[in-house]
A and B are shown apart, each in its own frame.
Chain A
Amino acid sequence: MIVKYFAYFRKDAGCKEETLLLAPLRALELLEKLSEIHGQRLQKSLLTTDLTEIHPDVIFLIDGRNIDFIDGKNSMISENAVVSLFPRVAGG
């Protein structure tokens, strides 16, 4: 599983991307795992303060599809998926 970070999430995680050997898991579970690996700064960006929800300003893509259009925080991520994590940004 490849996890890619963008914008200020790169500073929070300390890297642009990483490869993780993980069994299939749900979106929220992945963010919990990433918080364990990278610490509180990333956790604060990715999860709500009670740690039960994905932070509303996270855009979470699994193989390019936003989890909002899959199964939200329960969306399943396969072993070989590419996950992209963005803060809420905009431009145009």
Chain B
Amino acid sequence: MYGLIGRLLRVNLTTGVVAEEAISESMAKKYLGGRGLGTKIYMDEVAKDTDVFSPDNKIILLTGPLTGTFATSAGRLMWITKAPLTGTIGCANSGGEFGPELKFAGFDGVIFEGKSEKPVYLYVNNGKAELRSAEDLWGKTVFETTDQLVAATDPDAKVCCIGPAGENRVLYAGIMNEKNRAAGRGGLGAVMGSKNLKAVVARGTGGIKVADNAGFLAACTEARDKLKAHPVTGAGLGAYGTEILVNIINASGGLPINNWRDGAVDKNADDISGETLVEKYLVRNKGCFGCSMACGRVTKVKDGPYKSSGEGPEYEAAWALGSSCGINDLAAICKVNFICNEYGMDPITLGSTFACAMEMFDKGLLTVDEMGGNLVFGDAPSIVEFALKTAKREGFGDKLAEGSYRLAESYGAPELSMSVKKQEMPAYDGRSLQGMGLEYATSNRGGCHVRGYLTSPEILGLPVKLDPLVTEGKAAMLKIFQDLTAVVDSIGICLFTTFGMGLPEIGKMLRTCTGWDLSDEEILATGDRIWNLEKLYNLGQGFTKADDTLPPRLLHEPLPEGPAKGKVCELDVMLPEYYNLRGWDKDGVPAKAKLTELGL
């Protein structure tokens, strides 16, 4: 096989047996790899009524055919299982270098099943794999675990692990690699924790075969040249990182403040912006494997109460811990972001859960005594304190660890959770970016921005310009974005490449790498297949049209100011059109003809 190595590891954590098996090429061609193939394997092997934390559940780590190759920004890996936070299909991806290293070690991925009696880690080294004790690592942070495992194995080894949040089954615990890269959303780290699986370590010096060396080199060079020449992928992302979005989203009236309660124009937004991060705290930028964009931020708060260093924050984290909590202290936001990396937590859900608790306090549903601290809008020190309590499930942190929906619901006010399918929405208000509202409502993994990033056409004008305030054209564009994103997530490259290149470049790289005779249209149709597959999983879990919605606030409370003043999200206009374009019935169920067309 080309691109993919063609081999998987199957690790039974109950018995300790580690076995190898081949990947079917026909199956790989049909689902590509990563997100698509991983979801297919998961659905084939795990009964739909399996509890997320049961030993019968499985968690799959899978790379794509381009991962680790010369293709641009091809450092991605995907984790797939049921998501503890949502109960939907859970798939979260990460960059860095772990994915390529796993392939260099001779495997495309690992299927973990069962549950270990005691903490273990998997060490994969040049074609061999073994489970080792991780008892001395349990309770340790991501950074401590990574350092200890590199010392115990190989100086060039790459480590993927959970921190205390995953061990404690925080419902939005992430899986971290190279300390600061995160498969962050949905709580997949808690599934690792439930299996007593602390880490996966990879070291390899092998290579990856491609079908057409000269053609692949030419296709990759063409793609890289295109990214270099583009203002966003060639200069902007490297210079300012993702945080550059703070000011433009805010100026466009789309940056939700105070738990989305008080509008979407933050007068203090510049304090937490990418420009300010560069000015005050940036040490250098950093790239993942084979990436010329290098949007990563290595940052340091040199002094003061939040003195610390690490990586990030990204835009979504800065907003969730900042504007959404009424906080404009970027040093405090950096500090909490570093804690999220060290303890292995998703800062989007963490910040949004804080914001929800803060509004509950304003409404008298929570008291300072009950919370054991001053978790109120604008209080920067409190988010540091409660981030640690949440990771450890200490005191009120135990409730915060359940996410905003379960927290608010337990006090009879689920409408205060700014979530979709129990996962918190990121930093774009669906009232001022209508297409993003539709994107959140239909995302197969709950409130999420990277399943069909319509911010790109609505605000950034990429690849076309769509008026953010209107509904026309959003359903059609979203379907294309969702399908293409499913492809990108499955082949192992970074979604950010799509700011500067598109399906033609992706198609050339994929064909020359794998040798698969797939036209661009067939590749996009594969994305459609993957999207429908995920939808089928969610339907099997009991999700219905009623779940393809938004918090009441976005549907019924007009924005009070800004360019979208008076607007709510017109989901009722867009959703039927979206279902129709997808070939689904009025209840959002794929029609039989559609499934036949997709070979599902």
Contacts and interface: CB of A to CB of B under 8 A. Distances in A.
Interface of A: 4, 6-8, 10, 16, 57, 59, 61, 63-66, 68-69, 84, 86-92
B572 to A, nearest CB: 23
B563 A63 contact: yes
B240 interface: yes
A89 B562 CA distance: 21
10 contacts: A6-B275, A7-B240, A66-B459, A88-B461, A89-B244, A91-B241, A91-B242, A91-B243, A91-B245, A92-B453
A65 B469 CA distance: 9
Contact of B562 (A57, A64, A87): A64
B275 A87 contact: no
Contact of B270 (A16, A61, A64): A16
Given A6-B247, A7-B244, A86-B248, A92 B232 contact: no
Interface residues of B, number: 43
A65 B468 CA distance: 9
Nearest to A10: B275
B577 interface: no
Interface in B45-77: none
A91 B295 contact: yes
A86 B236 CA distance: 11
Given A64-B251, A64-B253, A90 B563 contact: no
A90 B275 contact: no
A58 B47 CA distance: 52
B449 interface: yes
Nearest to B495: A92
B240 A92 contact: no
A54 B473 CA distance: 26
Contacts of A65: 563
A90 B456 contact: yes
Given A90-B232, A90-B236, A92-B453, A68 B244 contact: no
Given A7-B275, A10-B275, A69-B467, A88 B251 contact: no
Contacts of B465: 66, 68-69
A91 B461 contact: no
Contacts of B564: 64
A65 B453 CA distance: 20
Given A16-B270, A66-B465, A86-B247, 8 more contacts: A84-B248, A87-B231, A88-B462, A90-B237, A90-B460, A91-B242, A91-B274, A92-B496
B257 to A, nearest CB: 15
A66 B243 CA distance: 20
Interface string B557-574: 000001110000000000
Contacts of B562: 64
B267 to A, nearest CB: 12
Interface string B441-465: 0000000011001011001111001
B239 interface: yes
B315 interface: yes
A53 B232 CA distance: 21
Contacts of A59: 248, 459-461
A92 B449 contact: yes
A57 B233 CA distance: 13
B559 to A, nearest CB: 11
A64 B264 CA distance: 11
Contact of B460 (A6, A8, A61, A88): A88
B499 interface: yes
Contact of B231 (A57, A64, A68, A84): A57
Closest 10 pairs between A and B when the two form their complex, measured CB to CB? A91-B242, A64-B563, A91-B245, A84-B251, A69-B467, A90-B232, A89-B236, A89-B244, A91-B315, A88-B231
A90 to B, nearest CB: 4
Contact of A92 (B252, B265, B274, B315): B315
B24 to A, nearest CB: 34
Contacts of B266: none
B500 to A, nearest CB: 9
Contacts of A90: 232, 236-237, 244-245, 456, 460, 462, 496, 499
Contacts of A63: 563
Most chain A CB neighbours (cut-off 10 Å) among B239, B244, B455, B562: B244
B101 interface: no
Nearest to B243: A91
A59 B274 CA distance: 17
Interface in B291-330: 295, 314-316
B316 A92 contact: yes
Contacts of A64: 251-253, 265, 562-564
Interface in B162-216: none
Interface in B14-60: none
B245 A89 contact: yes
Given A65-B563, A89-B244, A91-B242, A7 B461 contact: no
A91 B494 CA distance: 12
Most chain B CB neighbours (cut-off 10 Å) among A8, A84, A88: A88
